[in-house]
Structure 1
């Protein structure tokens, strides 16, 4: 579906709050021209038995949105679209285990979307969130697909940014891939006990941009302001768990993903960047989208200009899509209509 015309540019903001765990990463306000009172973030800590998940919350009201970031990113990923959400919404952006300010998994735990899903479920129970809208980017959207299928009673609606499905491998390749996975995991486990690499700030920004292939400097600094910290000599180190870097996607078959998609019935929005990550052929994506739409109360898939971190590079357009979807969800709930599109 083609994207809309670019909406009128809104004020943009960089999260400039300081917490015990944030770094002194510079995000010059001159680049953003933002009203500082647009931000009222509150740091959140959630004890989930084995450790603490941390995040940031803003807004109040009966409607709740949970935001989950992508692989090796953190809760700052939605900083530019959160101010666009309507009044009456509590928005919680969560650091997944091993990311941002959240505790790392204990030794022996495996970083995997299923493990993340379990951690999120425990966090929602601890908070008493019985019903919420799930917003995910990249890996966070992979977790969201799993969560929406496994715990459908929790999810009022699901919004995915640049994920329809991740890679799948045929079962005959699983043995070789698991071998590769565990060898990498044990190697990273050893490296995680050693002194971390120290970077100059500008060097780390550059590496983040180059590694993502989709971030601009503004987005890189937003993520690094929560994902890195300053050390004694003035250098920067990354806070994420090295074990989380191991590539873990591919161990669910394509057929299983289709059945997971088919089981989700809440309203769905997919925002796909036309130059974003591509994990499957168009034919397989079409099969997945048809499965998502099959018994869905309201389904929409939109394509727009941009790369994988499109919510950080084109926040006004992504925020407009999300707000339109939320309005249509209200129509579905109150009027029982389903033939609506963003």
Structure 2
């Protein structure tokens, strides 16, 4: 953990979340929200290239990173991540902030900006154009999947060392550099008997019972009023052209998406370029 960050324990209605903060008296204040099954350290490399004067708040979502897991036999749902955001703003005394979100974190940040427009000064979305909900009829498929997943026993695979855990990450993200994968594995695992396991709650792998279909998401994202920028990896996740165009139109981007060489975790592959884009977007929006 970089020495310039302090760890915080955040109370999210009785669940202890972990967050890290740099320069509590600084400005502007920027809140970072990580992707699914990741953790706040995914932004460390970007943070190294941001001005020392900025106040940075990096959150671990519930059941991920160093945040507490929900009780056994409970279920994670998307809206609970909005509770996490409210909790970290309350704990840090922030009335408003700029938000940076990767993947799931960007979806959460977008929904929060729509629901609490006065609290979000700008949005920077990294590889994040919303959920893959699809048409309304997918709701039934989703419910059936949720019930089916109740029978799946949680499984925390053991790895002999950090290098093996990093190799597993690179299987899912081939464009991830070896150094970035080691960084994510080092901060995203914990020791157990017989090796290491990833810290995220395996219950996160179960499907949500409810999710937004395309029309609902367009209604939510079109309610965002703050300036938005989108940063994509050249080899990252893509929607089909029609769905992508509808989502871009809803967000009313002031300029086309910034496409950088890399994959879905482009902020780990191009941290300096991503940091430069954040500075150029956030400073005019202060």
TM over 0.5: yes
Paired residue for 1:210?
Answer: 171
Q: Structure 2 vs 1, CA of residues 138 and 240 (structure 1 numbering), >3 Å: closer, same or farther?
A: same
Paired residue for 1:44?
Answer: 8
Alpha-carbon distance in structure 1 between the residues aligned to 2:171 and 2:208: 21
Paired residue for 1:149?
Answer: 114
Alpha-carbon distance in structure 2 between the residues aligned to 1:52 and 1:231: 21
Query: Secondary structure in 1 aligned to 2:249?
Result: helix
Paired residue for 1:6?
Answer: none
The yes-or-no answer on 1:302 pairing with 2:258 is yes
8 Å CA contact 1:166, 1:250 repeated in 2: no
Alpha-carbon distance in structure 2 between the residues aligned to 1:210 and 1:115: 29
Normalising to structure 1: TM-score of the pair? Answer: 0.77
8 Å CA contact 2:102, 2:125 repeated in 1: yes
Deviations 1:290-320 (A, max 9, x none): 1111xx7x55521222110100011111111
Alpha-carbon distance in structure 2 between the residues aligned to 1:237 and 1:168: 30
Q: Structure 2 vs 1, CA of residues 149 and 117 (structure 1 numbering), >3 Å: closer, same or farther?
A: same
Alpha-carbon distance in structure 2 between the residues aligned to 1:182 and 1:124: 34
Shift of 1:232: 4.8
Paired residue for 1:8?
Answer: none
Alpha-carbon distance in structure 2 between the residues aligned to 1:61 and 1:100: 25
8 Å CA contact 2:103, 2:127 repeated in 1: yes
**Runs of 4+ residues deviating >3 angstroms:** 247-250
Query: Secondary structure in 2 aligned to 1:98?
Result: coil
Deviations 1:205-243 (A, max 9, x none): 11111023442221111112221012355x212211010
Shift of 1:248: 3.7
The yes-or-no answer on 1:198 pairing with 2:172 is no
How many residue pairs are counted as aligned between the two chains?
284
Alpha-carbon distance in structure 2 between the residues aligned to 1:214 and 1:106: 35
Q: Structure 2 vs 1, CA of residues 292 and 250 (structure 1 numbering), >3 Å: closer, same or farther?
A: farther
- Which protein is bigger by CA-based radius of gyration? 1
- Structure 2 portions without partners, runs of 5+: none
Paired residue for 2:71?
Answer: 106
Normalising to structure 2: TM-score of the pair? Answer: 0.92
Alpha-carbon distance in structure 1 between the residues aligned to 2:90 and 2:52: 24
Alpha-carbon distance in structure 1 between the residues aligned to 2:179 and 2:76: 28
Q: Structure 2 vs 1, CA of residues 198 and 79 (structure 1 numbering), >3 Å: closer, same or farther?
A: same
Alpha-carbon distance in structure 2 between the residues aligned to 1:239 and 1:156: 31
Paired residue for 1:255?
Answer: 215
The yes-or-no answer on 1:277 pairing with 2:251 is no
